[in-house]
Structure 1
Amino acid sequence: MKYAIIAAGEGSRLAQEGVQAPKPLVEVGGEHLIDRLIRVFMANGASEICVICNEQMTAVAAHLKEIAEAKQVPLKFIVKSTPSSMHSAWELSQWLTDEPFVLTTVDTIFREKEFATYAKTFELLAQTGEVDGLMGVTDYIDDEKPLYVGTNDALQITGFFDTCELPKYISGGIYGLTPKAIPVLQRCIERGESRMRNFQRALVADGLLLKAYPFSKVLDIDHASDIEKAETFLDIKH
């Protein structure tokens, strides 16, 4: 199974709050966000890890080049600025057409044991053809603009919503997908759409079978205060 990381955001809010490192190189518990994901993905059977960073992140590109040249990680990366996370996913999709993959943004924080169970579950369901996607969700809402996830009793996803009167789950930004998702993404790009939430809506509209996989919590690193929050969540001792 492949893994993909969108590390192309500018991290402008972090910079405004005094965090000087580009977001992928922000440290949580003494470990760069990008390095944490690579380590976790390697521990969960990554056949390949594909990453995109923007053209302004010269330090990130140098860091990725160093990892790739060490040849201890099956890493591919592209340096390109894109207008949205969905466009970043499209750039990565050139490497994701031949086997199931899990895609996240670089600042996605989850418990490693939960992720390992999720990855095994998705790999099994994808191999047996039971799902086209297994999306990480959480009932912990700490997002400025959450994407609510509608499900039925079997946790099949029925829709993605900007508002919800009785929310059960929100998207955790962990997307397990089969290659069937790539043509859907292409059509979104051709229609001039953007944002990952519109891509997710298109997956449902095009009839792909998506199931929700609940995580206890999933956090994003958008503000300086989120770093300490993530370390507390992960129970990292200094």
Structure 2
Amino acid sequence: MKYAVIAAGEGSRLIEEGIIEPKPLVRINGETMIDRLLRIFLENNAESISIIVNNEMTVVQKYVQELKLAVPVNIVVKSTPSSMHSFYELTPYLKGGKFVLTTVDTMFREEEFAEYVSEFDKSTDIDALMAVTDYIDDEKPLYVETDGNLDIIGFKDVVYSGARYISGGIYGLSDNALDILRDSMMEGVSRMRNYQRRLVENGLKLKAYPFSKIIDVDHAGDIEKAAIFVKR
């Protein structure tokens, strides 16, 4: 399985709240967030790992460039206007099969992630397997509308009658999804949520995979919360 990490955000809210480390290097239970992801990827049959960091994060650039892993590591250094644009910059390394993409601050239980990857790896009839959760602790959640079989039929910015799940920020995707990403970029689409809507609009088969909880580390208070949640 190929893996990709978007670590190109500025982490401005953490900085404003007194966290001096760049977000990818913030430690959760003594392990930096980027190292935690890389370890988990390696434990789940990684064949390659691709990472994007922004131009301003020179400390993070140096950190990832000095990584010595048992699989190829592809590094892109570029500042982008959104996570969707960051994703696009990684696409040359993701073509030719399935891959899992996440942001660096996405915190999940390792056993759930392993089960998710296994489910996606053995799937043969879907274009994407999207992590969702009914734990809502996000300032602007993206609600994921599903049918009774957990097939995704829509994405909504606001809560709706019967809403249960929100996007967890972990995306299992295939080559078909990369074609839609390319077209979306050419058409001026911005934001990951709008790209995901395009996947549905273009008839791709998206499946939701429920996680018990996923936490994004956006604020200083999220660090302790995440540490308690993922402690092994």
Question: Corresponding residue for 1:208?
Answer: 204
- Report the secondary structure of 1:83's partner residue: coil
* Aligned mates of 2:19, 2:137 — CA distance in 1: 21
Question: Corresponding residue for 2:192?
Answer: 196
**Which residue among 91, 96, 99 is the counterpart of 1:98?**
96
Q: Which amino acid aligns with 2:182?
A: Q
Q: Do the aligned residues in 1 keep the contact of 2:5 with 2:103 (CA within 8 Å)?
A: yes
Question: Corresponding residue for 2:48?
Answer: 48
Q: Do the aligned residues in 1 keep the contact of 2:143 with 2:155 (CA within 8 Å)?
A: yes
Equivalences for residues 103-182 of structure 1 within 5 A? 103-125=101-123, 128=124, 130-165=125-160, 166-182=162-178
* Aligned mates of 2:83, 2:18 — CA distance in 1: 24
Gaps of 5+ in 1: none
* Aligned mates of 1:183, 1:4 — CA distance in 2: 17
Q: Which amino acid aligns with 1:107?
A: D
Question: Corresponding residue for 1:27?
Answer: 27
Question: Corresponding residue for 1:79?
Answer: 77
- 1:73 is displaced (CA, Å) by 3.8
Q: Do the aligned residues in 1 keep the contact of 2:47 with 2:71 (CA within 8 Å)?
A: no
TM-score (norm 1): 0.95
* Aligned mates of 2:16, 2:29 — CA distance in 1: 21
* Aligned mates of 2:4, 2:204 — CA distance in 1: 20
* Aligned mates of 2:89, 2:197 — CA distance in 1: 19
- Report the secondary structure of 2:195's partner residue: helix
* Aligned mates of 2:176, 2:102 — CA distance in 1: 18
- 1:71 is displaced (CA, Å) by 4.5
- Report the secondary structure of 1:4's partner residue: strand
* Aligned mates of 1:21, 1:235 — CA distance in 2: 21
* Aligned mates of 2:228, 2:48 — CA distance in 1: 30
Is 1:3 the equivalent of 2:3?
Answer: yes
* Aligned mates of 1:177, 1:235 — CA distance in 2: 28
* Aligned mates of 2:187, 2:145 — CA distance in 1: 25
How many aligned residue pairs are there?
231
Q: Which amino acid aligns with 1:160?
A: F
Gaps of 5+ in 2: none
Tell me the C-alpha RMSD between the 2 structures: 0.9
- Report the secondary structure of 1:164's partner residue: coil
Q: 1:113 to 1:71 in 2, by over 3 A?
A: closer
Identity %: 57
- 1:162 is displaced (CA, Å) by 0.2
Moved over 6 A (4+): none
Q: Which amino acid aligns with 1:201?
A: R
Question: Corresponding residue for 2:214?
Answer: 218
* Aligned mates of 2:231, 2:90 — CA distance in 1: 32
* Aligned mates of 1:71, 1:143 — CA distance in 2: 33
TM-score (norm 2): 0.98
* Aligned mates of 2:148, 2:155 — CA distance in 1: 16
* Aligned mates of 2:178, 2:132 — CA distance in 1: 21
Q: More displaced, 142-151 or 185-194?
A: 185-194
